[in-house]
Structure 1
Amino acid sequence: MSGTPTPKQALILWCLLGRHGSALQSTLVPRIDKADREALIAGRYLEAEKQGRSLRLTVTDKGWAWTGEHMREPLPPSFRVLQDWLERMQADLAATGRTLAELVGSAPEEPAPAEPRSRARRASSKGSNSKGSKTPTPKQLRARIESAYLALTRGERAKAVRLSALRAGLADLDRATVDAGLAAILRGDRTARLSQFSDPKSLDPAERAAAFSPAGEPFHIIWIQS
């Protein structure tokens, strides 16, 4: 290339300086033609390195020096507004003694790479029950228990429902969450209560496994009155 970048090539340098002197080519507008990019690289105004599927373009010291000294150089006609602003900026830098690099400032730290979706899902599940749904509030949990109860009784109240069946109806909640709701009932819910089988010998392994035993005393049945 000649000793002076063309208006189109000067625009590329200013696009990069607007990104603190370095950016992925794929993020820049307008689109950069290969011939212009290679000419700037050959003239040592620009460096390029492969990054992912794109190229990272970086203005060299020579590029910084040239742009700082040629802020009145012509740009493509459709970018006249930018050229007007560059003239205002050059006048300000001359009056204050600041450099172009001081005006542009240092590049901010780049954000950390995005986590894989699987890891993000695991992180977002913190504070949720082990089956992935958000842990309900005590009021929501009480409503869920009653809804599952009524589904099993077909809308009738004051009927005995086995905890094994209730737990199956709340399969999207983990055991600890359901136990918390049963504990709240046991502490003094006037509209619901827990009870035991009158004949412990009638319990099968499934009923024993589903029992709620807050203090070593197992409960196997729930009643909801109203």
Structure 2
Amino acid sequence: MNETHLTAKQQLLLWVLLTRGGGALQKDIAAFVDAKDRRALEKLGYVGTSKQKRANFIELTDRGWRDLGEIEPRLFLEGEPRISADRRMLQFVLASLGGFARRNSYTLHDIFAPAKSEPVPVAPAGEPSGGAIEQQIREAFFAIAGRPAQDDVRLSALRARLKHIDRKDLDAALIAMREKRAAILTNLDNPRDIEAEGDAALKSGIHVFHLLWIDQ
């Protein structure tokens, strides 16, 4: 990646996507998305945009993941006035993290990408297989959200409806659905809502998910 042809705002969008596990709904990162910058990054092959949940879903491409790890973060221009302390701190942290990754032969994908689900073993007779669990997740989601779905479903509500499924198996199926883009997992922002979810959250790598969405 030739960092000189990226503006500070374009770099910031790439780093925001990286901290979201490589992709996010545009509405969830609207403060960092400028349509002109997004199209420029698409043209350069660093991001792709698709329709999910009736909205734009922006994600890093393989090239974006690879090249972003080779540059020094520049989230603002030298001499630019009124740079917030948090943006300066973010640039320092990302630069240090990138240096650590390169020195230890890690990639940013190793650090930020959600953990891959383990292969689902063949279930003994009488126990649901991975595919059967995914189907039960879909049925439970639409039973709660309606069809067409009106809103995200909290994982606490999903777990309550599927309490007969072992938590480890349910989490593995949810992550597998996310990887196949058969479902979207997102997080809550309100501390009270997060507290209300208790231990229902799904943890994958550095990410914590509270909500499930399935298009159809």
TM-score interval (norm. to shorter): 0.3 to 0.5
- The structure showing larger relative contact order (alpha-carbon pairs under 8 Å, at least 6 residues apart) is 2
TM-score, L = length of structure 2: 0.48
